[in-house]
Structure 1
Amino acid sequence: MIIESTISLLLLLIQVPATALLLSRLLKGPRRHPPLKPQQPTPDILGSVSVVVPTLNEALRISPLLAGLSRQSYEVREVIVVDSRSQDGTPELVKAVQEKDPRFRVMTDDPLPPGWVGRPWALHNGFLFSSPDSEWFLGMDADIQPDPGLVASLVKTAQAEGYDLVSLSPQFILQYPGECWLQPALLMTLLYRFDPAGVYTEQPERVMANGQCFLCRRSVLAAVDGYSSAQSSFCDDVTLARNIAAAGFKVGFFDGAKVFKVRMYEGAMETWKEWGRSLDLKDAAESAQIWGDLWLLSAVQGLPLIVVLAYLPISPSPYLPISLVLAVNVFLVIIRFALLLAIAPSYDRKNAQGGWLFWLSPLADPLAVLRIFLSAFRTPKEWRGRKY
């Protein structure tokens, strides 16, 4: 039992402080801002928003976004699709919508300069090309499906609460068994590391953001020279949001599951490859913060199920450290399943094959934490069809 007791003491040293940190964040949940709901526009926000959408071969995914943006009301002054020389007919789809809705425009961005990643470069071009008369810049991804009243809700929330930048978490659409199991575990790596959506964070380095739906005052974006400060970041949304928060502006991240959906990746393998390599957020954080997050994820997400399964055969034990380790990890497993219940509304599983696997996603936690480790020490060589 000496070896088991020694291992137990080490686990307690690793896990108890991490559990306390996790609880300090989760306890903020009851006072979080409620999920945004669609709102009707009012005359004071007439023509106040320029929407910019970066695209590269998005013909198979962009139609729901174009239809959803057409249903937004008069608060949207213009919709600028910045295309990076798509070869699949993406610009033609936008031009077809433009014939019915003159707010739509499509432009081709300049060749990618050295030091820039494609997405921030396209958004930067869209910002420069957008109307200076718009008060708000709204960056949106081609794979989202906005509900009517989304844009009005964003603007009214930002105005009412004095935010300079607001972004939203979506409702994720799941279709295949593997992603129903893996994707919630990957999402959980974000929930453990940051305050709940809807809780205002005063520390710029802990700010969270989502570029899929990213509303910023045009004057604020101009003050930080557009996307220049995030030009080389593969998580440009978080990098830019933290830079804006560090400059003294108010940044908010809210639950948007009731106002837009997203179908990000097809199947578990694509989810593992594409989403997994951006979740580490290494381009938006210092090394110490990355290592701290890796410690936290290992302690409270990666280890608990493994420890419980390993310690059950030796329980009950007269050795206090062993009993404490088992108790701590059972507690963490309970928290994990409670969080799974909490995030269930953030998933659309109505048409999913094997949607029940969502409830077994805690079994994928060790893999999800491993994915963050692998990503944290690798620079992407390919992203959304571009090679770097």
Structure 2
Amino acid sequence: MNATSFGGDTWRSVGLLLLVVQLPLLLLLLARLMPGRTRRPPISPRLTPRTDTTVTVVVATLNEAKRIGPCLAGLMAQTEPMLEVLIVDSRSTDGTRELVESAAARDPRIRLVTDDPLPAGWVGKVWALETGLRQAKGAWVLGIDADTVPAPGLIGAVVDAVEQDGYDVASFSPQFRDQTSAERFVQPAMLVTLVYRCGAAGATQPPPDRVLANGQCFLARRALLEQHGGYAPARASFCDDVTLARHLAAHGARVGFLDGSKIIQVSAYVSLAEMWREWGRSFDLKDATPSWRRWIDVALVWSAQALPLPLLIVVATLLRSLGWSAADNPDALLLKALLLVNGIALYMRLMLLVALRGSYAERGWPFWLSWLSDIAAAWRLTLSTARTPTRWRGRQYDTLITDGAK
């Protein structure tokens, strides 16, 4: 490709179109990320008990025998204000129930609960959480996933955090651990798409329709949940955490999303293929976001995350063919504008990688080079946005209407 070929009307039109699309989307991204400059630092564990309130922990399980052991151990290490742990199991057949019963024999705060058969229109995990809420006795309800590892002092820390900031509901981003090299090369790029679409954990509260949440560690006042129908507002959602958080925020609750990388770890998947399939199925936040906004977010991710590097290479090559000092050539001016916009976008992307380093227990070269997989992450987001899922954690949901946010 040379200066002559670029000088044609086609390439000039393409360059102008890219600039017209990329510049406003880059400004939109800057507006979303700016609050992250003053975001709250990661929550630290509270190692002294609290006796002035109580917390019920609810863990939804279905065939989690290979993953729930560290979660149970972490919960048994908690002190007050943890009142009880309800493991709501959906008739597991892999030994999960036996592991829970063994833990309950050692810690009377742990109780195995079997949920009723799944009602029509409910996702299994959400129904299990609703079952736990109906039996909870604590002033707070903390949803924890079976693949998480709670640090000692988690329970007191999350209650401290929400009370200090005046939240009614808050969830906490984890630190990822035990990832394969392939996962550490791709998953951080997928995580960045969430930050680009919703902002950073610990930043000021966004509008209700931009609230982000993490169901792996989701704390809410029990009275507030009961007032709003429990988990029913998210009953048909594959991103139930975000759907519920946005519903509560839209109805006046103060909802926070904080950095919990020092208080909870997660080892969710065993391979890149499982992560690509399972997490990629719902991380578009389909059930909590209007269709038109999801596609704007897809455009933003392609424009500001996936395309800047290849565009920089192409633009630099073309500009060199025109002459870097060609001041009066309109094509050169257009190229320099594209070079500036995409250079800023790539710089922001690399700085965000540095900011996210604490969210990964193991990093190494796959993490630090994960920005090279941005195109793959943008493609996965596009696929997820275009498709309606029907399977989740071994269940088939052909009758669910999962795109209800339209």
TM over 0.5: yes
**TM-score, length-scaled by structure 1:** 0.95
Q: Which runs of 5+ in 2 are unaligned?
A: 1-6, 323-328, 398-406
> Residue 25 of structure 2 contacts residue 300 of structure 2 at CA under 8 Å; is this kept in 1?
yes
- State the partner residue of 1:14: 21
- State the partner residue of 2:99: 93
In the alignment, is residue 61 of structure 1 matched against residue 70 of structure 2?
A: no
- State the partner residue of 2:402: none
Give the drift of 1:4: 2.2
Give the drift of 1:41: 4.2
In the alignment, is residue 109 of structure 1 matched against residue 112 of structure 2?
A: no
Q: Is the partner of 2:300 in helix, strand or coil?
A: helix
Q: Name the count of aligned residue pairs.
A: 381
Corresponding residue to 1:331 among 331, 344, 347: 344
Tell me how far apart the structure 2 counterparts of residues 324 and 212 of structure 1 sit (CA, whole Å).
43
> Residue 234 of structure 2 contacts residue 243 of structure 2 at CA under 8 Å; is this kept in 1?
yes
Tell me how far apart the structure 2 counterparts of residues 43 and 300 of structure 1 sit (CA, whole Å).
45
Corresponding residue to 1:194 among 190, 193, 198: 198
Amino acid in structure 2 at the alignment position of 1:359: W
Amino acid in structure 2 at the alignment position of 1:260: I
Q: Is the partner of 1:28 in helix, strand or coil?
A: helix
Task: Please list, as runs of the form range in 1=range in 2, the aligned pairs for 1:1-388 lying within 5 A after superposition.
Answer: 1-2=7-8, 3-46=10-53, 48-131=54-137, 134-316=138-320, 317=322, 318=329, 319=331, 320-349=333-362, 355-388=364-397
> Residue 171 of structure 2 contacts residue 256 of structure 2 at CA under 8 Å; is this kept in 1?
yes
> Residue 158 of structure 1 contacts residue 165 of structure 1 at CA under 8 Å; is this kept in 2?
yes
Give the drift of 1:367: 0.9
Give the drift of 1:43: 4.1
Question: Does the C-alpha gap of structure 1 residues 41 and 250 become closer, same or farther in structure 2, counting only changes over 3 Å?
Answer: farther
Give the drift of 1:31: 1.5
Give the drift of 1:288: 2.2
Amino acid in structure 2 at the alignment position of 1:304: P
Amino acid in structure 1 at the alignment position of 2:69: S
Tell me how far apart the structure 1 counterparts of residues 286 and 52 of structure 2 sit (CA, whole Å).
37
Q: Which runs of 5+ in 1 are unaligned?
A: none
Tell me how far apart the structure 2 counterparts of residues 349 and 313 of structure 1 sit (CA, whole Å).
36
Runs (4 or more) in structure 1 with deviation over 6 Å come to none
Give the drift of 1:362: 0.9
Q: Is the partner of 1:122 in helix, strand or coil?
A: helix
Q: Which has the larger radius of gyration?
A: 2
Amino acid in structure 2 at the alignment position of 1:299: S
Give the drift of 1:202: 4.3
Give the drift of 1:42: 4.5
How many percent of aligned residue pairs carry the same amino acid? 48
CA deviations over 1:247-274 (Å, ceiling 9, x no partner): 1010000000011110011121111111
Q: Is the partner of 2:106 in helix, strand or coil?
A: coil
Amino acid in structure 1 at the alignment position of 2:354: L
Amino acid in structure 1 at the alignment position of 2:24: P
Tell me how far apart the structure 2 counterparts of residues 225 and 175 of structure 1 sit (CA, whole Å).
37
Tell me how far apart the structure 2 counterparts of residues 204 and 80 of structure 1 sit (CA, whole Å).
30
Amino acid in structure 1 at the alignment position of 2:120: P
Give the drift of 1:232: 0.3
> Residue 5 of structure 1 contacts residue 322 of structure 1 at CA under 8 Å; is this kept in 2?
no
Tell me how far apart the structure 1 counterparts of residues 37 and 317 of structure 2 sit (CA, whole Å).
37
> Residue 57 of structure 2 contacts residue 82 of structure 2 at CA under 8 Å; is this kept in 1?
yes
Tell me how far apart the structure 2 counterparts of residues 183 and 202 of structure 1 sit (CA, whole Å).
24
> Residue 65 of structure 1 contacts residue 144 of structure 1 at CA under 8 Å; is this kept in 2?
yes
Amino acid in structure 2 at the alignment position of 1:77: L
Q: Is the partner of 1:293 in helix, strand or coil?
A: helix
Tell me how far apart the structure 1 counterparts of residues 206 and 383 of structure 2 sit (CA, whole Å).
30
Amino acid in structure 2 at the alignment position of 1:247: H
Q: Is the partner of 1:27 in helix, strand or coil?
A: helix
Q: Is the partner of 1:99 in helix, strand or coil?
A: helix
> Residue 41 of structure 1 contacts residue 75 of structure 1 at CA under 8 Å; is this kept in 2?
no
Moved more, 96-105 or 330-339: 330-339
Moved more, 290-299 or 137-146: 290-299
Amino acid in structure 1 at the alignment position of 2:370: S
Tell me how far apart the structure 1 counterparts of residues 33 and 341 of structure 2 sit (CA, whole Å).
16
Tell me how far apart the structure 2 counterparts of residues 271 and 281 of structure 1 sit (CA, whole Å).
16
Question: Does the C-alpha gap of structure 1 residues 343 and 114 become closer, same or farther in structure 2, counting only changes over 3 Å?
Answer: same
Amino acid in structure 1 at the alignment position of 2:182: G
Give the drift of 1:33: 1.3
> Residue 200 of structure 1 contacts residue 253 of structure 1 at CA under 8 Å; is this kept in 2?
no
Tell me how far apart the structure 1 counterparts of residues 78 and 120 of structure 2 sit (CA, whole Å).
36
Amino acid in structure 1 at the alignment position of 2:335: I
Moved more, 341-350 or 91-100: 341-350
Tell me how far apart the structure 2 counterparts of residues 102 and 233 of structure 1 sit (CA, whole Å).
33
Q: Is the partner of 1:249 in helix, strand or coil?
A: coil
Superposition RMSD on alpha carbons, in Å? 1.3
